[in-house]
Amino acid sequence: MTKTKTHPTINKAELPTWCELSGAVISAPGSSTCIETGTWRTYMPIRDAEKCIQCMRCWIYCPDSAIIVEDGKVVGIDYEHCKGCGICAKECTPKDKAIVMKEEIK
Amino acid sequence: MKENLLESGVRSSEDRGVLQYAPTHDTRLGTQTRVALTGNDAVALAFKQVDPDVAAVYPITPQTELMHKFADYVSNGEVHTELMLVESEHSAMSASIGASAAGARTITATSSQGLALMWEMLYIAASYRLPIVMVDVNRALSGPLNIHCDHSDTMGCRDTGLIQLFSENSQEAYDNTIQAFRIAEHPDVQLPVMVTLDGFIISHTVEALKVFDDEVVKAFVGEYEPLRSLLDTDNPITMGPLDLPNYYFEHKRQQVEAMERSRKVISTVGNEFEKISGRKYGFFEPYKLDDAELAIVLLGSTAGTAKDAVDLLREEGIKAGLLKLRVFRPFPGRQIIKALANVRAVGIFDRSISFGLEGGPLFNEVRSFAFESNFKMASFIYGLGGRDINVAQIRDVFLTLKEIKDTGRTDIPVQYIGLRE
């Protein structure tokens, strides 16, 4: 699973005061990866590696780049950023789906 | 005819502010030439002399001739400006935002409905802290459809976060336009600046004014070095991302601070401009206000007519005075009250209306600072949709003020000057 990067402002224990901000700009590139959008999820995709045929459709369609691929193969789901939209489960090729959506247990 | 002009055109002003910044630009008295131009042509000339990087425009009466003239400069190769002819004013401001965010010195101009169509983008220009210089040639808002002067367009966007400078005549429109670049681009400010001139009354009227040689203007505004640029790939930034509840409030507070800091910058730039022009620019111009018992406060071209009325009343032995406001945002409320401290009755003139609020916007803004002052106030709405106003009508206002002074009445309802009743 991808570990969320630390960010000078987003991951600070205390957010900057208005005096500390340099205008309404993001000056540290790539900071969107520091936002844990996984907390928005109400349904989570559960992937069964044995049923997966590595068609890569989940990786192609995932709007949040939350399908983890290593050496050309799907190996897992980035739950820090997966919002639980369910597109991966919908697009999953096998008749007996390799990805299914399950309600989050809070 | 060319002349050095320290001795001429100098007006009194009580509100000079304190010069804090060391001059970073050329502030030697510049050579000036007396020419006859319309307000639109005068502003176009100022733009030509500044030679901005990008202009994004769409035509609308009465602004059209301004950018028409500027387009001539572009076509003739007299400026290096990239002129973008966009499909609407919304696009004009959007393109200006993009250009300014990319680090270009950017201008635009519009009127009335065009400004209204820019509305949402004005907030964005201000909140992204983009030093765009725009000109609004004041025109009434529809409906019913009207192309003539009033201030309803500018007043409608008084809370967008733009700095707003008003002009009495072509000279001030030209001078304000040049100063606007220095104000907008100052590191402490970084806000869009709107220069306004009254539609037709200034924009289409030929007046004599003094203009600089091109190099004087270029030296005054200096080379533009953006504080940040989207094209600076060594320092990549994102502008305009989602600003959620944990940041938005802080960014608004920063805009408040920028507007507050602009006060000092407006004073400093005004003082430096006086050095090269001989013409004073403060937040407002007091006219015969020192010993005045009765005064009016107003914006824009009507100041010329009002000065004649003041002179007339002085001849009649009535101590009349005028406060012509130049800077509407940031609003110099405390200075206005200080300047009116010895006045007994004040009439506030509004060339726009705030429906459902007693009196016009300027009246209410002045009144919000007047809670500790001794003078009586009354609101006068005039000139909507280009309705003319003359010296006799302003004299009548002073006579009303005299009655207020003599009787101490505070229950004078909003007065509509020149309305058929």
Q: How confident is the model at residue B410 (pLDDT cuts 50, 70, 90)?
A: confident
Number of structural domains found in chain B: 2
pLDDT at A12: 55
Chain B partners within 8 Å of A25 (Cβ): 128, 228, 237-239
Q: Does B185 map to a domain?
A: yes
B149 with B261, same domain? yes
Domain stops at, among B232, B259, B277? B277
Whether B28 shows a pLDDT value over 80: the answer reads no
Q: Does B421 map to a domain?
A: no
B317 with B264, same domain? no
B210 with B353, same domain? no
- How many separate helices (H) and strands (E) can be counted in chain B? 12, 17
Measure in Å the smallest separation between the Cα of A30 and chain B Cα atoms: 9
Please give the residue range of the domain that contains residue B333: 284-416
A24-70 pLDDT, tens digit per residue, is 888 888 888 888 899 999 999 999 999 999 999 999 999 999 999 99
Q: Does B234 map to a domain?
A: no
Chain B partners within 8 Å of A18 (Cβ): 249-251, 253-254, 257
Cβ distance of B254 and A16 shorter than 8 Å: no
Residue ranges of domains in chain A, CATH in brackets: 1-35 (no CATH), 37-103 (3.30.70.20)
B351 with B250, same domain? no
Q: Does B7 map to a domain?
A: no
Q: How many CB pairs under 8 A join A and B?
A: 43
Coil, strand, or helix at residue B313? helix
B117-173 pLDDT, tens digit per residue, is 999 999 999 999 999 999 999 999 999 999 999 999 999 999 999 999 999 999 999
Cβ distance of B237 and A24 shorter than 8 Å: no
Cβ distance of A18 and B243 shorter than 8 Å: no
Q: Which residues lie across from B54 on neighbouring strands? A: B82, B106
Q: What is the mean pLDDT of chain A?
A: 87
The residue behind tokens 């290593």 is A70
Measure in Å the smallest separation between the Cα of B247 and chain A Cα atoms: 8
B273 with B309, same domain? no
Q: Which helix (H) or strand (E) holds B40?
A: helix B39-50
When mean pLDDT is compared across B86-100, B102-116, B362-376, the lowest value belongs to: B362-376
B202-229 pLDDT, tens digit per residue, is 999 999 999 999 999 999 999 999 999 9
Q: How far is the CA of A75 from the CAs of A71, A96, A100, in angstroms?
A: 9, 18, 16
Chain B partners within 8 Å of A21 (Cβ): 247, 250-251, 254
Whole-angstrom distance, CA of residue B110 vs CA of residue B58: 7
User: Measured between CB atoms, does B190 come within 8 Å of chain A?
Assistant: yes
Report the sign of the C-alpha dihedral through residues B149, B153, B154, B156, in that order. positive
B251 with B320, same domain? no
Q: Does B22 map to a domain?
A: no
User: What mean pLDDT is predicted for residues B195-204?
Assistant: 98
Measure in Å the smallest separation between the Cα of A102 and chain B Cα atoms: 29
User: Measured between CB atoms, does A94 come within 8 Å of chain B?
Assistant: no
Cβ distance of A16 and B250 shorter than 8 Å: yes
Whether B348 shows a pLDDT value over 70: the answer reads yes
Nearest to A21 among B236, B239, B250 (CB): B250
CATH number of the domain where residue B366 is located: 3.40.50.920
pLDDT at B4: 37
Q: Does B25 map to a domain?
A: no
CB neighbours of residue B186 within 10 Å: 21
Q: Does B204 map to a domain?
A: yes
B151 with B169, same domain? yes
Nearest to A21 among B127, B238, B254 (CB): B254
B188 with B63, same domain? yes
Cβ distance of B239 and A25 shorter than 8 Å: yes
B369 with B267, same domain? no
The residue behind tokens 């009325």 is B309
User: Measured between CB atoms, does A29 come within 8 Å of chain B?
Assistant: yes
ipTM score of complex = 0.78
B134 with B179, same domain? yes
Cβ distance of B254 and A29 shorter than 8 Å: no
How buried is residue B187: exposed, middle or buried, by Cβ count under 10 Å (0-12/13-18/19+)?
exposed
Measure in Å the smallest separation between the Cα of A15 and chain B Cα atoms: 8
Domain stops at, among B262, B277, B292? B277
Chain A partners within 8 Å of B192 (Cβ): none
CATH number of the domain where residue B201 is located: 3.40.50.970
Whole-angstrom distance, CA of residue B83 vs CA of residue B47: 12
User: Measured between CB atoms, does A15 come within 8 Å of chain B?
Assistant: yes
Q: How far is CA B252 from the centre of its chain?
A: 23
Interface probe for B, chosen from A18, A20, A21 (most Cβ of B below 10 Å), is: A18
Cβ distance of A18 and B129 shorter than 8 Å: no
pLDDT at A5: 54
Domain stops at, among B259, B277, B295? B277
Interface probe for A, chosen from B97, B191, B238 (most Cβ of A below 10 Å), is: B238
Which of A41-73 are b and which e, b meaning 16 or more Cβ less than 10 Å from the residue's Cβ?
Answer: bebbbebeeeebeeeebbbeebebebbbeeeee
Q: Which helix (H) or strand (E) holds A25?
A: strand A25-26
User: Measured between CB atoms, does B228 come within 8 Å of chain A?
Assistant: yes
Q: How confident is the model at residue B16 (pLDDT cuts 50, 70, 90)?
A: very low
Cβ distance of A24 and B129 shorter than 8 Å: yes
pLDDT at B400: 96
Q: Does B151 map to a domain?
A: yes
B261 with B336, same domain? no
Whether B311 shows a pLDDT value over 90: the answer reads yes
B256 with B394, same domain? no
Cβ distance of A24 and B251 shorter than 8 Å: yes
